[in-house]
Amino acid sequence: MKHLFLIIAISFVSIGFAQTSEVWNQKDSKGLKQGKWKKHYDTGEVYWIGEFKNDKPINQFIYYFKSGAVLLEVIHFPNAISRATFYYETGEVAAAGKYYKQQRDSIWVHYYPKGNKMSQEKYINGKRYGTSTDYYQNGNVLREQEWENNLEHGLTKMYYENGKLKEQKRYKMGSLEGLCSLYESNGNIYMQGSYLKDVKHGTWYTYKNGKQNKTMEYEYGKCKGCDEIVPLDEPIEKITDQDIIDEFYKKYGNLIGK
């Protein structure tokens, strides 16, 4: 009798384990992903956990850094819309926005680790449109830039951290085109001229204490009969927050449902 009770007890335990164990990474007879899935880094750590129905991501997906900290949380809705929140490895929100058909869409906001806004931009089907705004950590505007079909198009303004205008220029479908003006941090203009297809063209003026100081003639990027003059405090191109953001999305931004 004791043996009978033991067999029955073991049977119940076995049934309990069978009912609670989860099945992962299943495909149906058509090769479509169904149910809960998880992927791992090559080194074994969990990369992401999510759920599929007929090969389409549904409900919540969570992506992880190798450290185990949450990298990305995505909620998938039935209408091809997904809401995403990216995190720094230390836990603070890095970016938040919407995907439509797995492409960035509508307004996206990016944040510094302390929670203040880094940038805001608008997307349509994964491409930038309208005006994007970047911010210094003190909250002042760093740059305002107009976009069309993911290309700079229209007016771009850059500012010093004190709020004064630093640079104003125009783009035409990704190329510098038209008047460009550069300013000192006290508000005085110190250089002005025009671009044609990304190169200086025509007369450029330099200023000292706000007054015209020198002129230079450019022909398709070449200064005629003069040496290039660049004031010491002219803005120098460098890696910007937007470059960091672009690298972030290049690495992580198209992960949803992959």
- Note the pLDDT of residue 14: 44
pLDDT mean across residues, the chain = 85
CATH of domain 125-253: 2.20.110
Please give the biggest Cα pair distance in the chain.
110
**Which residue blocks in 194-254 are alpha helix, DSSP H?**
241-248
Is residue 9 predicted with pLDDT exceeding 80?
no
pTM passes above 0.85: no
Is residue 184 predicted with pLDDT exceeding 80?
yes
pLDDT band, very low/low/confident/very high, at 238 (cuts 50, 70, 90): very low
C-alpha of 194 from chain center? 30
pLDDT band, very low/low/confident/very high, at 228 (cuts 50, 70, 90): low
**Residue 121 is encoded by which pair of tokens?**
């931009």
pLDDT band, very low/low/confident/very high, at 18 (cuts 50, 70, 90): very low
Is residue 37 predicted with pLDDT exceeding 50?
yes
Residue with tokens 């002129």: 215
- Note the pLDDT of residue 67: 97
- Note the pLDDT of residue 128: 97
Is residue 246 predicted with pLDDT exceeding 90?
no
User: Is residue 143 a contact partner of residue 155, using CB atoms and an 8 Å limit?
Assistant: no
Distance CA 204, CA 232 (A): 17
Distance CA 166, CA 147 (A): 20
- Note the pLDDT of residue 7: 42
Long-range (24+ apart) CB contacts under 8 A made by 160-163 are: 160/185, 161/136
Grouping H, G, I as helix, E, B as strand and the rest as coil, residue 76 is strand
Mean pLDDT of 179-195: 96
Interacting residues of 8 by C-beta distance below 8 A, sequence separation 6+: none
Mean pLDDT of 199-209: 94
Is residue 235 predicted with pLDDT exceeding 50?
no
Between 138 and 233, name the one with better pLDDT: 138
- Note the pLDDT of residue 53: 95
Grouping H, G, I as helix, E, B as strand and the rest as coil, residue 246 is helix
Distance CA 223, CA 229 (A): 10
Over pLDDT 70: what percentage of the chain? 79
Task: Classify 118 in phi/psi space as left (phi over 0), alpha (psi -120 to 50) or beta.
Answer: alpha
- Note the pLDDT of residue 254: 55
User: Is residue 97 a contact partner of residue 85, using CB atoms and an 8 Å limit?
Assistant: no
Distance CA 56, CA 72 (A): 18
